[in-house]
Amino acid sequence: MTRASIALVVAAAVVAAFAAASLAGGRAAAQTHATTLKGTVGPGFTISLKRDGKRVTSLKAGKYVFVIADKASIHNFVLEKEKGGTFEKELTDVPFTGTKTVPIRLTKGEWKFYCRPHEAQMFGKFQVT
């Protein structure tokens, strides 16, 4: 083989490798896309979790981005897995007010979100399948 032929084969191999890596990266990016869930705590004694403007009652297991609007300094937003494993995370805390964004991987089981100081009246539940 001549030097020109070898250079052409090497160049083709490099182009093929970059194309394969680009395709794999595109698939990986598509698979890791996280759905946004919007949580609100306050004003008053209210708490909610919505997806596309609708109350969350069930979700598929996977990655989610929780965007929490904490509108009262006397509340917080806690996410907890009740059945099917252990997970508990305070997404906002007392006396914080404002918005926080938290990525979370939800696994199969029963989940609950609540305000810790007022849990008896401020909570919601959803199922992850």
pLDDT of residue 27: 41
Q: What is the pLDDT of residues 3-56, one digit of tens each?
A: 555 544 444 554 454 444 444 444 444 445 899 999 999 999 999 999 999 999
Q: What is the pLDDT of residues 49-92, one digit of tens each?
A: 999 999 999 999 999 999 999 999 999 999 999 987 789 999 99
Sequence ranges of the domains in the chain:
1-32, 35-128
Report the topology of domain 35-128: Immunoglobulin-like (2.60.40)
CA geometry: angle 10, 19, 13, nearest 5 deg: 10
pTM: 0.74
Cα–Cα distance for residue pair 72/59, rounded to 1 Å = 27
Q: 87 - beta bridge partners?
A: 81
